[in-house]
């Protein structure tokens, strides 16, 4: 689309495939068009809770946004987060991430943020009600599996989970080793 500005010339904007816009005139391949498919959907992993998959049976997962301070976002972009002993807590119809450690950003003014503070998680009301019902009735717990940036926004993957017993842990270990052995045999056959 071009707009004529009289004697000043014209201003043209090129519409990209996903409706994004890029000013014309620059060399092709200057980077992705703003809002294009190339830029959308980028995910950058920050932290993962590998222990959660070993200690819990995952029943359902949810993606939630996180309400963060500026210095927390800077620290997350640097990858300074631990989910080791964290969990989700539902209070008065709101979900909070408790026990997650985000290291202070060294360049933040006045010391930045409290590393262990509770962070509000952003979910739809229907999802919060569903999670609260499952936690109250079935004795499930809310465990964070990973934290990542999606389209520039910090997200946390939450899981409704049930704690595994010692028997379940041994069984999943045995199943994993059995699968590895089957893979080895399969590779030998291919040779």
pLDDT at 125: 94
Averaged pLDDT, 109-123: 81
pLDDT digits (tens, 9 = 90+) for 67-89: 888 888 888 888 888 888 888 89
Higher pLDDT, 59 or 32: 59
Q: Which CATH class is domain 43-168?
A: mainly beta
Q: Residue 19 above 70 pLDDT?
A: no
Q: Residue 116 above 70 pLDDT?
A: yes
Listed by start position, the domains of the chain span: 1-40, 43-168
**Rounded Cα gap, residues 61 and 50, in angstroms:** 15
Confidence of residue 160 (pLDDT cuts 50, 70, 90): very high
Confidence of residue 128 (pLDDT cuts 50, 70, 90): very high
pLDDT digits (tens, 9 = 90+) for 42-59: 888 888 888 888 888 889
Averaged pLDDT, 18-31: 42
Q: Residue 121 above 80 pLDDT?
A: yes
**Ramachandran region, residue 70 (left: φ > 0; alpha: ψ -120 to 50; beta: rest):** alpha
Averaged pLDDT, 4-30: 43
Higher pLDDT, 26 or 144: 144
Mean pLDDT of the chain: 77
Q: Residue 21 above 80 pLDDT?
A: no
């Amino acid at each position: 689309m071009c707009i004529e500005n009289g004697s000043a010339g014209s201003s043209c904007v090129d519409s990209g495939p996903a409706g994004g816009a890029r000013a014309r005139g620059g060399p092709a391949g200057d980077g992705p068009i703003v809002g294009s498919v190339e830029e959308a959907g980028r995910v950058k992993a920050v932290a993962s809770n590998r222990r959660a998959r070993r200690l819990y049976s995952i029943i359902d997962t949810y993606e939630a946004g996180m309400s963060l301070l500026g210095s927390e976002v800077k620290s997350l972009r640097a990858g300074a987060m631990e989910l080791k002993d964290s969990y989700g807590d539902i209070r008065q119809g709101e979900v909070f991430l408790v026990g997650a450690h985000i290291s202070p950003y060294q360049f933040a003014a006045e010391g930045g943020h409290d590393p262990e503070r509770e962070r509000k998680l952003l979910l739809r009301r229907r999802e919060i009600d569903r999670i609260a019902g499952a936690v109250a009735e079935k004795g499930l717990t809310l465990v964070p599996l990973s934290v990542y940036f999606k389209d520039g926004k910090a997200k946390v993957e939450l899981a409704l989970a049930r704690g595994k017993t010692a028997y379940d842990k041994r069984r999943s270990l045995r199943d994993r080793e059995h699968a590895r052995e089957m893979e080895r045999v399969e590779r030998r056959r291919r040779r």
